[in-house]
Amino acid sequence: MSLVIYNTLTRKKQEFIPTNKDEVKMYVCGPTVYNYISVGNARPIIVFNMVRNYLEFLGYKVKFVQNITDIEDKIIKKANEEGVHFSVITERYTKAFLEDLKNLEINNFYFMPKASEMIPDIILVIEKIIQNGFAYVAGGDVYFDVSKFKNYGKLSGQDINEMLSSEEESFSKRNKVDFTLWKSAKPGEPSWDSPWGKGRPGWHIECSAMSIKYLDYGLDIHGGGIDLVFPHHENEIAQSEAAFPEKGDFVRYWMHNGMIEVKEEKMSKSKGLKEEWILRNLLNKYSPNIIKMYILSTHYRSPLEFSIEKLEEAKKAIEKLLNFLRNLIFLIKSVKKDSSTQSNYSNSNSSSSYSSNSNYNSNSNVDILIEDKEFYENLSDDDKKIFLYIKQFKQEFKKSMDDDFNSARAIGELFNFIKKLNTIIQSPDFNINLIKTESLVIVYDILINYTKVFGFNLEKELKLFEISGKKDISKDKIKDIGKDLGKWLDDAEIKELIKQRDLARKQKNFKKADEIRNKLSSYGIILEDRKEGTIWKRELVNQ
Ligand SMILES: [Zn+2]
């Protein structure tokens, strides 16, 4: 099966075939920098990061451009309100936006151009549109003449005749629906020289100019929120195809994410932000993994409810994943190294370091191993089951993601995989020394690498546990995993208490052993006594 994408333009799912076989050109509309970004603005960022990652997972080279709108009416309004130069506003919020991206651990943009740095390119595109007869100059303004572009309305499905017949609202515009490509300067507003006098570009034109400059004409994927379909994306099509009528369609696949809603209300920056919707405030309480889990647990085209309960659910889901991985590490480490059951097969040398290969497909040889009869027949029953579950998970993950990036279903498959593996490793009969540890190392690698498609960085949080005895761990990170700051034990302290408890049990001092267990429990540390020793996990403490 191959990847299918729901295309807003055709209103159906279509097989994904990029213009160039191995390369994908992708453009997503970025934020207007006049305020801190909300979790609503973070949704397209997280969603299209997942889209890019999955395309890379499939082996494509992805050129991903996202813009920053730093010329816009809302910025000028905000500057006037604060009585400062507009660049004070754009610099402050561009810096904040870049910090937010860094804290979300989303980067690797091919280019991230700003509108203010694109003025000469924007002017060139407007000149082409005028030359081709699709725009007119009225005073110092330039308008796109919608009546000349016969495909206007093809993306949003609107009837152009209805729009054209509506009453005119402006003296200089020929039709109400005509939109601004260039605005003449008003006193006190930022402006640049142009063939039409001093002025500034309209909002829509920057995305046409930027995508053409950095990706050449003809995008494979153009993304953004569903609220941008009309007029923004409709206008981007009109501008781009009017500037280059000989080059065909501007975009092959239009992808739009649904909105984040707060009890039926759309989250919008322009209406004023509540403190709890601001991404940087959420990032103080929740790790990037948790915020990504929250966003990607719903299909990207569906509306997504914003609530603290939903974020708490995501936090529990991430904690469940981390606990499972910690158990795996514990089991892998507890194998008797001289055991005769140890196989010579080594997947990735990761059994010593537990660090995974960043290559998504580092486990492709698992399929070959499963097909290898001699290898497979010599496995223990538990190993055979583990390999079977690995194979099933890999298939279901791909099937889900190939179906219009259904991350919600893929995450469901992930927990299904863990559940099935738990039936083996949590069974009282389970003996780690009877299975080939490589199968669990492969499980570990797969969980780490496949979840990178969602933008998760689970190893970072796991390492945080391993080194949390050190004093340089920030208290913020500890807060991330839901700990009450006053009630925190680091790993070294936990291990020491478990050691003392083991000793007490050996000496049959069960009162003391119970006291230690209760103490650990009060810190949210849950113990489980197993044949191999005592394992522990952190439970979230309700604050
Ligand atoms: Zn745009």
Show Cβ contacts of residue 423 under 8 Å, excluding neighbours closer than 6 positions: none
Pick the CATH number of 22-285 from 3.40.50.1220, 3.30.1330.100, 3.40.50.620, 3.30.70.2860: 3.40.50.620
What pLDDT is attached to residue 518? 85
How many angstroms is it from 69 CA to the middle of ligand 1?
9
Q: What is the dihedral of CA 362, 367, 371, 375, to 10 degrees?
A: 40
What pLDDT is attached to residue 48? 98
Mean pLDDT throughout 14-43?
96
Structure confidence by residue, pLDDT tens digits, 423-464: 999 888 888 888 877 889 899 999 999 999 999 999 988 876
Q: What is the dihedral of CA 517, 519, 522, 526, to 10 degrees?
A: -30
Angstrom distance (rounded) from CA 311 to CA 105: 18
Q: Which two tokens stand for residue 117?
A: 């740095």
Q: Where are the alpha helices (DSSP H) in 334-361?
A: 350-353
For the chain, how far is it from start to end, CA to CA, in angstroms? 46
How many angstroms is it from 29 CA to the middle of ligand 1?
4
- Quickly state the pLDDT bin for 263 (edges 50, 70, 90): confident
Angstrom distance (rounded) from CA 254 to CA 232: 13
What pLDDT is attached to residue 125? 98
* Cα 157 to chain centroid, rounded: 29
Range of weakest confidence among 264-278, 391-405, 422-436, 452-466: 264-278
Residue type present at position 243? A
- Asked whether the beta carbons of 74 and 273 are under 8 A apart, the reply is no
What pLDDT is attached to residue 332? 84
Strands 61-66 and 23-28: parallel
DSSP for 372-400 reads -HHHHHTS-HHHHHHHHHHHHHHHHHHHH
* Cα 49 to chain centroid, rounded: 4
How many angstroms is it from 221 CA to the middle of ligand 1?
13
Strands 199-201 and 179-184: antiparallel
CA torsion sign for 303, 309, 315, 319 is negative
How many angstroms is it from 48 CA to the middle of ligand 1?
14
Coil, helix or strand at residue 539: coil
Map tokens 């191999």 to a residue: 532
Range of weakest confidence among 39-48, 85-94, 314-323, 494-503: 494-503
How many angstroms is it from 222 CA to the middle of ligand 1?
9
Angstrom distance (rounded) from CA 259 to CA 224: 10
How many angstroms is it from 228 CA to the middle of ligand 1?
8
Question: Phi and psi (nearest 5°) for 63?
Answer: -100, 110
How many angstroms is it from 178 CA to the middle of ligand 1?
18
How many angstroms is it from 31 CA to the middle of ligand 1?
9
How many angstroms is it from 530 CA to the middle of ligand 1?
56
How much is the mean pLDDT over the chain?
Answer: 86
How many angstroms is it from 484 CA to the middle of ligand 1?
42
Q: Looking only at Cα atoms, what is the longest distance across the chain?
A: 94
What pLDDT is attached to residue 248? 95
How many angstroms is it from 424 CA to the middle of ligand 1?
50
Q: Which two tokens stand for residue 211?
A: 């995508």
How many angstroms is it from 225 CA to the middle of ligand 1?
10
- For the chain, give every domain's residue range: 22-285, 308-464, 469-543
The 10 Å Cβ neighbour count of residue 84 is: 12
How many angstroms is it from 145 CA to the middle of ligand 1?
19
Angstrom distance (rounded) from CA 154 to CA 8: 10
Residue type present at position 178? D
Residue type present at position 322? L
Mean pLDDT throughout 305-324?
95
How many angstroms is it from 60 CA to the middle of ligand 1?
24
How many angstroms is it from 67 CA to the middle of ligand 1?
8
Question: Phi and psi (nearest 5°) for 449?
Answer: -80, -40
- Asked whether the beta carbons of 184 and 141 are under 8 A apart, the reply is yes
CA torsion sign for 308, 314, 316, 322 is negative
What is residue 229's DSSP assignment?
I
How many angstroms is it from 317 CA to the middle of ligand 1?
34
Question: Phi and psi (nearest 5°) for 37?
Answer: -80, 150
Task: Indicate whether this model's pTM tops 0.75.
Answer: yes
How many angstroms is it from 138 CA to the middle of ligand 1?
25
- Asked whether the beta carbons of 505 and 513 are under 8 A apart, the reply is yes
